[in-house]
Amino acid sequence: MGKNRYKGKQNKESRTLYLKSGNYLLFGLGLVLIIIGFVVLSKGPWNGFSSLTLAPILLVIGYLVIVPFAILYKTKNNRKETELQ
């Protein structure tokens, strides 16, 4: 079938993990915010403040602000490491 084009050992750079603990904490915060948004959405009357206003705001903040920020966020130490390479 297909041959492996990359013979030899992989670089250490290709196996490094660029996400640090701060990124995972922000991602966890976003996940908690999304879960709270869905819980608020499911509770109460369908035409109430929480279902129509509060829950969508929590979901938008979780999906469109916190999670992308957690992926793109770099600490100062991580920035220095990537600049040196």
Q: Give dist(CA 52, CA 59) in Å, integer.
A: 12
Cα torsion 17, 22, 26, 31 to 10°: value is: 60
pLDDT band (50, 70, 90) for residue 77: confident
Sign of CA dihedral 10, 11, 14, 19: positive
pTM of structure: 0.72
The 10s digit of each residue's pLDDT in 8-64 is 555 555 667 788 899 999 999 999 999 999 999 999 899 999 999 999 999 999 999
Domain limits, the chain = 18-80
Which class for 30: exposed (0-12), middle (13-18), buried (19 or more C-beta within 10 A)? buried
pLDDT at residue 67 tops 70 = yes
Q: Give dist(CA 34, CA 62) in Å, integer.
A: 5
CA 60 to chain centre: 13
pLDDT at residue 73 tops 80 = yes
* pLDDT at site 84: 64
